[in-house]
Amino acid sequence: MSEPFMKPFTKAEMEAMRQATRDEEGLKRRFWDKLKRVAGKIPFAEDLVAAFLCATDPATPSRVKLILLGAIAYFVFPTDAVADLLPLIGFADDAAVLAAAITQVAGSITDEHREKAHTILRDPLG
């Protein structure tokens, strides 16, 4: 299904998509590693996992994937605006970036993504 309200990709967006695609496996590994360490400390863990599931779903439109992968990369990589080691506020910037991304693509994150995220966080070994 096409999203007619979205503009075409810019050259910078296309390059970012290519870069994310080249290192998608590395991003996935870093995502799960960091999530295991911090899931109990962040109130937005379920939204984060649902966004990840949407971004890695083959049915998700490319533009949506780009937006979500950008937010996930911001969460995963240690060079963000506020150090994640700071209690309480360390993940505030990650939450803000994720919230902005989800707002842009809200209709693409399905109930199935959210249900699976809930299941994963409830029983990470299952």
Q: In sequence order, which residues have a C-beta less than 8 Å from that of residue 41 and are 6 or more positions away? A: 91
Distance from C-alpha of 101 to C-alpha of 96, rounded to nearest angstrom: 9
Instruction: Count the Cβ atoms, other than its own, within 10 Å of residue 105.
Output: 22
The three-class DSSP label of residue 93 is helix
Supply the pLDDT for residue 9.
Answer: 57
What pLDDT shows up at residue 116?
96
Per-residue pLDDT of the chain (126 residues; tens, 9 = 90+): 444 444 565 677 666 656 655 677 788 888 898 888 888 888 889 999 999 999 999 999 999 998 998 888 888 876 554 555 555 566 777 888 889 999 999 899 999 999 999 999 987 554
Query: Which of 91, 85, 76 lies closest to 30 in space, CA to CA?
Result: 76
Asked whether the whole model's pTM tops 0.75, one would answer no
Q: What is the pLDDT of residue 5?
A: 44
